[in-house]
Amino acid sequence: MPYQKGTGKSVVVALGGNALGNTPQEQYELVQDTAKHIVDMVAEGINVIVTHGNGPQVGMINNAFAYASAHDGKTPEMPFPEAGAMSQGYIGYHLSQAVLSEMKRRGIMRSTANVVTQTVVYPDDPAFENPTKPVGAFLTEEEAKRKAEETGWTYKEDAGRGWRQVVASPKPRRIVESDAIRDLFEAGYIVVCTGGGGVPVFEHDDTYEGVPAVIDKDRSAAMMAATFKADMLVILTAVDKVAVNFGRPDQADIDVMDAAQARQYIEEGQFAPGSMLPKVEACLEYVEAYPQGRALITSLEKAAAGLRGETGTIITA
């Protein structure tokens, strides 16, 4: 069979890192099912970019190196940007391999590419003034203060459980590898990229410097979808539809909402911070930057059905 390109719409899909398990073994098993749902979209002719979270995975890498360093005195500490890049590599390896295998199984003559991605952030982003995102292993106060002196990293006490490194969560500004991703995407590859929002970097003239920070992966996906003028941004979560009055007797699912309605619900406190709120905010950033596009929030299992308009919550400008 000749190599095929997608003939339908272009879609950026954002997968949650928690959906990929907590160990490489769990992840390998889970991505086999994930790949089936992604290839359901590919089978309908859709051109797909897959982005993903990396919270559990980058935490595992950080903890492993910290433990080894503390116990053998030989293993080096792993800087946070490098740990992020490592997580992108092995998550992307699993995802691209599983998607490629599933396409071959169905006789779909397309291929995959995994791009370890850097995302530019600005040094003057207000998030850097007060880092709040805990990462890595728990330490005693004495250990944390010593590490802070040795590395210049910031440590804070975490809910009475010990001290942990904290990093900022700045706004993504530009994806360094955008041109490469676009070329692969337009050539028909299923591209896996921007894992964990991308490795945060400062841009100095023509050089880049990794910075310990965490970028919201949904915001990076939204920025990329707007930059590429993708037809849809699809954010996959644990529920089929966004709801108001969630968990109450009068809970109501939302089929469609425009930006004004979404902002009203946000003002009412309808969406939980750290859960649905950042997903809705990312969708707003996308449709307001590219009003011709539509955003979809739904579950992984219903992704293909959602693209057909059969389920999920659609957000428009």
Number of alpha helices (DSSP H) and beta strands (DSSP E) in the chain: 9, 17
Burial 94-115 (b: 16+ CB within 10 A, else e): bbbbbbbebbeeeebebbbbbb
Which residues are within 8 A (CB) of 126 and not within 5 positions of it... i.e. 6 or more apart? none
Residue 23 DSSP one-character state:
S
CA nearest to 296, candidates 6, 8, 49, 14: 14
CA nearest to 189, candidates 309, 51, 42: 42
Question: What 3-state DSSP class applies to 113?
Answer: strand
CA nearest to 302, candidates 6, 100, 29, 13: 13
- Which residues are tagged catalytic? 17-18, 133, 217, 279
